[in-house]
Structure 1
């Protein structure tokens, strides 16, 4: 009998399945963006609500600092990729820092490196081997994790070959063939494109290099292979699911998303309401709530001090944090002269493309009392910005979901964002934030000016802050949606038997 509020799934065979999350990034072990927190947040919520679950993650060098004691799941095992043989070891973390059951795939040649995907701005040239190996090794480890049925939830292109190997390598194994597969596309702009010559290196037959499977404009496309072999697929917001079906928003895979029909859908991510809570935040100098906002002024003053800006409670303090790359809209911000003549202070947090870092550094030198920057990203500074800023700027070229705008609203920090993807789905324009449409300097300037003007009216601003803080962005609100998607995948997989 499930406890009240617990989650349950239909049986696979004669028993409910264990949900296995397969992700190249997973908090706190390895992260470069939102994938790590999204995969972890979903898994942790499911685990706390009673589902049998496990995450499988590569054993990166950077992950080891977060790992306590590892116990082996059996002996090392070998897999054959064409004429190449690779040896892997599966380990379970006995006291996982993720607070979820976590298994690591060890292959030091692949994963014991300084970076996750590459170093010094360049991808590792063997990423096709690294992540195809991860996907195949994770599948081979499944019987070491559970003897019962499994539902596989793969995340992004790095894990997308899992359903391909499932059908090709284990096609004659009844236990494997009953496994339903859900593939989540967290960022459709990253697909795992490699040359045609990698097909033998993947240990997959040339019969799969066709336009209805892995072939994409003469290249091998990992994400396309996963989509064409998965039972169900999701992306991380309803609006982005519609965008991905269009020529302008599909990154060349719009026909695949269209072909999937209602097997492809959009579900918003959630945020961790325990970690992101202005009433209890361990990183901030003061606490506050929707009913009592007084502590936010102290957080603003602390943020101004930390970043060397004049303490001024009246000036609008605007933050922008994350990866400083083209997708995040930096090109319509850093050279936007009119934007920096508004009565505001700007704080940039994060690193990325050199051209944007250089432009921000030049802005700071030219306007040291109005512009600050820090390229070393940290959890603490992100919390400081979330609590201290008046506005959070998100001028994204595209944004599949976005977590920052949800956290910002929870902190009474008003987002100014472009009307795309999850930003459009989570910001109520003029009520909990400000949206603009055009991806150009005039568009972002108009959005910021609307917000700065509104900020001058104290009563209206407090009303907007309280409305934003009322929004519910926890995982609870989408739990049943994912259970329906899993149930549909189970039914589809059952039809293959």
Structure 2
């Protein structure tokens, strides 16, 4: 256990409890909360999007402008997430918009400028607020310029002499690639020569800038850290990650059990515990409620749930070719998510044809996400790649057996039934192929049909798994101290 008290600023583009689009927001809430619980001085910096509830009523801590060109005006508002102070950087030009990153599935044209400004403001505000973190922990491409600016713009600034940076890579497929002209709000990029970020003579990657300039780099699972060292797993950034291999740490994300536990979940129709009677009764009640909610027949069949962004990354393109074949069995499938309109249309068409067995809900719904986790017998995560994944961990907490492809954090967290039935917590497959997915679905259904008692034993075993953020937080502290 780490005993030294650290001052840590966590910098992220979204934070659960304030605004969220994906798993990054879960980490941005849970990790700082766990670090604070361990006695450290932790705060969060994020954009003050106009859609954050209560933003305009929050106290203004600072009204200023960037010290460096182009001297953009901004304010810092005081928010809070579970006792962790949040510095929300407000700039109407960049953050008073309907969404965080995109509208109608089209990214905002000035996203490079927006998050370059945000990165600059995160550092600009610190001396003015007299906050001197020892660690600034940036996350993904949106904040990749924080380590870069710390190393370049503030390299000789006495205020930051003791400050070190970490960059967490939650998903390297998103590199934040922009033309130099789109980053001209930073004077360092006006020369069109920034080798630490350059991916061509005309374009830069904000993720690359962070990877090459951060003091330490963190991948969100041990297997993903290894995958980042390969061309395929790094999505073309293998050279950069290989050059930083000595400073690359793989730490599996944790689970915030105050949010994701059937014992305390306020969303689900019936709470339940990790004992057989409670689990069986609770999951039965939740299944009936979910079936009624999504207009499926209320019957006791194997229910397969899925909650995700509709992208090929999540393996939707493995599922679509075999979904109708699988629906010939006595099963029900519930998928909740938004994203690629083409994938959504295909799912909607299959749902219309097989409305007695398949429900597709094109929505982002926190309530439904909890209901699907609690009600399903199996949870689908056939990802093409998955740096960590959180839904497989949530699923286990609810006695819902994840069906995953053996990549990234899915490989690190799920034990396949056919490989080790005694310690199994789900089912897995390796080959990225629709038929392989169909085979593993049939393996799970066969067990459900032939030995329901064994399924319940495995579900109970899955519920006893502990992916506490406390252990993950201690590993992050060891990395900070290194």
Pairwise CA distance, 1:80: 3.6
Q: Does 1:279 align with 2:263?
A: yes
Residue aligned with 1:171, SS: coil
Match for residue 284 of structure 2 among 289, 297, 318 = 297
Q: CA RMSD for the aligned pairs?
A: 1.7
69-78 or 272-281, which moves further after superposition?
A: 69-78
Taking the aligned partners of 1:483 and 1:234, their CA distance within structure 2 comes to 12
Deviation at 1:148, TM superposition (A): 4.3
Give the C-alpha shift of residue 269 in structure 1. Answer: 0.8
Q: How far, CA to CA, are the matches of 1:323 and 1:196 in structure 2? A: 30
TM score, norm. by length of structure 2: 0.94
* In structure 2, C-alpha distance between the alignment counterparts of 1:412 and 1:66, rounded to whole Å: 36
1:88-142 Cα shifts (integer Å, max 9, x gaps): 111212xx24431111101100000111112111111111110010001010111
CA separation of 1:468 and 1:145: change in aligned 2, threshold 3 A? farther
The alpha-carbon deviation at position 260 of structure 1 amounts to: 0.7
Query: How many residues of Structure 1 are paired with residues of Structure 2 in the alignment?
Result: 470
Stretch moving more, 224-233 or 326-335: 326-335
Question: 1:443 is matched with which residue?
Answer: 436
1:464 to 454, 458, 466: 458
- Residue in 2 that maps onto 1:167: 151
Map 1:173-322; keep pairs closer than 5 Å. 173-198=157-182, 200-205=184-189, 209=193, 211=195, 213-218=196-201, 219-291=203-275, 292-293=278-279, 294-313=281-300, 315-322=301-308
Question: Matched residue of 1:276: which SS?
Answer: coil
CA distance in 2 between counterparts of 1:261 and 1:115 reads 36
Describe the superposition over 1:197-229 as per-residue Cα deviations: whole angstroms up to 9, x where unpaired: 345443215778455x11114420101101111
Partners in 2 of 1:145 and 1:442 — Cα distance?
57
Match of 2:402 among 415, 425, 428: 415
Which residue is equivalent to 1:495? none
**Would the aligned equivalents of 2:132 and 2:160 in 1 still touch at CA under 8 Å?**
no
Q: Supply the distance in 2 between the matched residues of 1:17 and 1:290 (Cα, whole angstroms).
A: 36
1:46 aligns with 35
C-alpha separation in 2, matches of 1:249 and 1:285: 40
Is the contact made by 1:27 and 1:98 (CA closer than 8 Å) also made in structure 2?
no
Instruction: Measure the CA separation in 2 of the matches of 1:110 and 1:161.
Output: 17
Partner of 1:24: 13
Counterparts in 2 of 1:301 and 1:33: CA distance versus 1, 3 Å:
same
Cα separation, 1, equivalents of 2:308 and 2:332: 18
Deviation by residue 1:148-170 (Cα, 9 ceiling, x = unmatched): 44310011110110111112222
**C-alpha distance in structure 2 between counterparts of 1:351 and 1:230, whole Å:** 33
| 2:315 is the counterpart of 1:329 | yes
1:89 and 2:81 aligned: no
Asked if the contact 2:48–2:55 (Cα under 8 Å) also holds between the matched residues in 1, the reply is no
Q: Measure, in 2, the Cα distance between the counterparts of 1:193 and 1:173.
A: 29
For residue 74 of structure 1, the aligned residue among 47, 52, 62 is: 62
Offset, 1:427: 0.2
Which residue of 1 is the match for residue 421 of structure 2?
A: none
Q: Is the 8 A contact 2:181 2:190 kept in 1?
A: no
Structure 1 pair 71–254 and aligned structure 2 pair: CA distance change class (3 A): same
TM-score relative to the length of structure 1: 0.91
Separation (CA, whole Å) in 2 of partners of 1:68 and 1:462: 49
